Structure 1
């Protein structure tokens, strides 16, 4: 996945913001909370995203994936896609979208409403 493709996937999600920080990384947030980080060092992508505990256990030892530097060392369930074979672009897009949903769903109801994201709440998901 290229940096443009990564940014396009993240940009398409509702109420997201983008900043470049941490040495030139593309950092995507919803409600001020990070859901995806993309860095390109010499053309190699390092794409970091939040996962569930189960997904973390399944992905952390797969070739091309690893516990996300800094984040996972703090006990957080974040994975970094850093090489091949890793994930396909389609799988990577799905994980980025799921990371967004988890982070958006963790925002307060008031904050989700302010952002127009009330439907991302866990209760709303159960009703549909």
Structure 2
């Protein structure tokens, strides 16, 4: 996945905002909370995202994936896709959408409603990788 494709996908998700920070990284937030980061290296695009406990255990030792630097060292369940083979673009996209859903679900109901997010059903139960 290219950074352009990453930014297009993240920008298509409801209630998102974009900022460049941390040395030029593409940072995507929902309700002011980070759900995806693109960047931190130039040679190969890298993407960092929040995952479920089960996905973290499945992904953390796959080639091209690792516990996200800084975030995972604090006990948070974040994965970084940093090299090939990593994930296919389709799977990476599904995990990015799932990360958005996990973070959005943690927002207060009022904030989700302000952002136009579905408040009648749990966001974290949306389709995508477990």
CA change 1:48–1:42 in 2 (3 A) is same
| Map of 2:12 onto structure 1 | 12
| Map of 1:33 onto structure 2 | 33
Output the CA distance in 2 between the equivalents of 1:118 and 1:4: 27
| Map of 1:115 onto structure 2 | 115
Output the CA distance in 1 between the equivalents of 2:49 and 2:110: 25
| Map of 2:69 onto structure 1 | 69
| Map of 1:93 onto structure 2 | 93
| Cα drift, residue 40 of structure 1 | 5.7
| Cα drift, residue 116 of structure 1 | 1.2
State whether residues 38 and 45 of structure 1, in contact with CA within 8 Å, keep that contact through their aligned partners in structure 2: yes
State whether residues 109 and 118 of structure 1, in contact with CA within 8 Å, keep that contact through their aligned partners in structure 2: no
| Map of 2:53 onto structure 1 | 53
Tell me, which stretches of 5 or more residues in structure 2 are unaligned? none
| Cα drift, residue 71 of structure 1 | 0.3
| Map of 1:23 onto structure 2 | 23
RMSD: 1.7
- 112-121 or 78-87, which deviates more: 112-121
Give the TM-score, by structure 1 length.
0.92
| Cα drift, residue 15 of structure 1 | 1.0
- Which of structure 1's runs of 4+ aligned residues deviate more than 4 A? none
Tell me, which stretches of 5 or more residues in structure 1 are unaligned? none
